[in-house]
A and B are shown apart, each in its own frame.
Chain A
Amino acid sequence: MTYLFQQVLNALQLGSIYALIALGYTMVYGILTMINFAHGDLFMLGAFFCFLAATFLHLPFIPTLLIAMIGVAIVGVLIERFAYKPLRQAPRVSAIITALGVGIFLENFTLVFAPYPQSVPTLIKNTTWVIGGVSISSLQLIIIALSIVLMILLDFIVRKTMVGMAMRAISWDKAIVPLMGIPLDLVISATFALGTSLGGAAGVMYALAFPVIDPYMGVLIGWKAFIAAVVGGIGNIRGAMIGGFILGGVEILVAAFLPSTYRDFVAFTLLLVLLIFRPYGILGKPRPQKV
């Protein structure tokens, strides 16, 4: 029982990181129906911004987190402006290939400056409490709590603010939005800024939990978070959160009860089976055909 509880806690930690990254995929897809395959590498950049701020500026946790989030958001907005925006009217496959290219660029750009894995300094003094046989670390609690706070904040922005309403309006019909006096490009930039900054935050948390980082760390995690977004129903924000936690949960539970090399195999098989029964994901709905 305590073993299970321990694993649930681990699953929440991993799941909240997946969920934060999945949100970036789902938000961009929601407004542009495009998969930003560079998003996993933006997550990696978040980890590197964290590394830079902590190692060279000796900043504590909160400023480091903010620098990473803002830094990644700026890169995300620039990528949209210069790489994706010119392709908005182009066939979708062009945008996807461009996104893959941007991802490869980010990996190799980072590789130039960090050819070897880097170790991230400890930013949070890690205390571990043992409660009823379950060990809980302060880092774990901070990661879970912070992720939940960020997700609640995002949910609030999307549901209650004007810019959030405009994002949802774009996801319904992009062409009408300017006719309501709303600057389309500004809202798209805001979406990229929000989505990628969450990826940056996830990068920081990951770097704190697993403090050795390298330029390719975003590839596999990016794919997994993308799959989490699809499982939740891509384009659906709450779906991305659910998908992230489901993937985290499945992975941890598989690793807990089976040899850990089976982890990805079993996790992805389960997700594929789920998609057979819910092809649009858990909260996804088929897009209405507009005439």
Chain B
Amino acid sequence: MSQGKVLLSVQDLVISYGNIKAVKGISFEVYEGEIVTLIGANGAGKSSTLRGISGIVPYKGTITFEGKDLKSIPADKIVAMGIAQVPEGRGIFGNLTVMENLKLATWSRKDKQEIPKDYQRVFDIFPRLSERQGQLGGTLSGGEQQMLAVGRALMSRGRMMLLDEPSMGLAPVLVREIFTVLREINQSGTTILLVEQNANMALRVANRGYVLETGTIAHTGTGLELLGNPRVKEAYLGG
């Protein structure tokens, strides 16, 4: 899969909160068209890495997207450059309707005439959201909220999508549904960077993975390689 060009590059990334270093100088690339996953336990630095890319925490090191340095670019402009976000804990606006949640994500888009087509696409992928268009986000179930979070990211139409633990708190059947959708989204041309604790699911869907341990990259390889790696198996896949 690494025949494409580098879309996102992270070099020597260091993220600290006060005296605590959450990410200790990691480097990795995401090639165009790939699904790459960062897996690891709580506190391994996965979410911090993602927050660094999104531009919501300060960092040392270099992050580039399509060759452009993202440092000192505000978070909203990073989305406008083409990085769509599915935030940790879904981040649905509970006081807004499903439709309003989707509409807001189109704020920075220039191609306004394409937007109706994308609503249709979101509703085709998630018919449940179509039924609930006028319902407040806060009244949706966890699974529906996750669908809405992914739908919103589709509406901001990035070339790349960042997802922070989309499987969190969902029943296994819903997790499978979400991951199937992620694969479809990827096949239609969106590059995906996926942070997950559910290593098993994430590695099955990903082309490549990085295993983070206490802020450094401990293992790397294709999804299948990591699934077969005995040490990864023991630590993250339940033996």
Min distance, Cβ A233 to any Cβ of chain B, angstroms: 14
- B residues in contact with A162, CB < 8 Å: 103-104, 107
Contact A183 B76 (CB under 8 A): yes
Q: B86: nearest residue on chain A (CB-CB)? A: A179
Min distance, Cβ B49 to any Cβ of chain A, angstroms: 15
Contact B94 A179 (CB under 8 A): no
Take A169-B96, A171-B95 as given contacts and tell me if A179 and B104 are in contact as well, using a CB distance cutoff of 8 Å. no
The yes or no answer to A61 lying at the interface (CB within 8 A) is no
Take A169-B93, A181-B79 as given contacts and tell me if A176 and B87 are in contact as well, using a CB distance cutoff of 8 Å. yes
- A residues in contact with B103, CB < 8 Å: 162, 165
Which of the four size classes fits the interface of chain B? 20 to 34
Contact B94 A288 (CB under 8 A): yes
- Across the interface, B91 reaches (CB within 8 A) one of A166, A168, A173, namely A173
Contact A179 B79 (CB under 8 A): yes
Contact B96 A172 (CB under 8 A): yes
Find the residue from A165, A166, A168, A171 having the highest chain B CB count within 10 A: A165
Min distance, Cβ B171 to any Cβ of chain A, angstroms: 19
C-alpha gap A181/B108 in the complex (Å): 6
Contact B107 A179 (CB under 8 A): no
- Across the interface, A183 reaches (CB within 8 A) one of B74, B85, B109, namely B74
- A residues in contact with B109, CB < 8 Å: 181
The yes or no answer to B56 lying at the interface (CB within 8 A) is yes
- B residues in contact with A171, CB < 8 Å: 95
- A residues in contact with B93, CB < 8 Å: 168-169, 172-173, 176
Take A172-B93, A173-B93 as given contacts and tell me if A181 and B56 are in contact as well, using a CB distance cutoff of 8 Å. no
- B residues in contact with A178, CB < 8 Å: 55-56, 74-76, 79
The yes or no answer to A180 lying at the interface (CB within 8 A) is yes
Contact A176 B100 (CB under 8 A): no
Min distance, Cβ A88 to any Cβ of chain B, angstroms: 14
C-alpha gap A173/B90 in the complex (Å): 11
- B residues in contact with A183, CB < 8 Å: 74, 76-77
The yes or no answer to A175 lying at the interface (CB within 8 A) is yes
- Across the interface, B104 reaches (CB within 8 A) one of A166, A175, A288, namely A166
Min distance, Cβ A6 to any Cβ of chain B, angstroms: 41
C-alpha gap A192/B180 in the complex (Å): 44
The yes or no answer to A154 lying at the interface (CB within 8 A) is no
Min distance, Cβ A229 to any Cβ of chain B, angstroms: 18
Contact A181 B91 (CB under 8 A): no
In the complex, chain B residues 59-102 whose Cβ is within 8 Å of any chain A Cβ = 74-77, 79-80, 85, 87, 91, 93-96, 100
C-alpha gap A183/B108 in the complex (Å): 9
- Per-residue CB proximity of B192-220 to A under 8 Å, as 1/0? 00000000000000000000000000000
Show the binding face of A for B, using Cβ within 8 Å.
162, 165-166, 168-169, 171-173, 175-184, 288
13 contacts between A and B (CB under 8 A): A162-B104, A162-B107, A168-B96, A169-B93, A169-B96, A171-B95, A176-B93, A179-B56, A180-B105, A180-B107, A180-B152, A181-B109, A181-B156
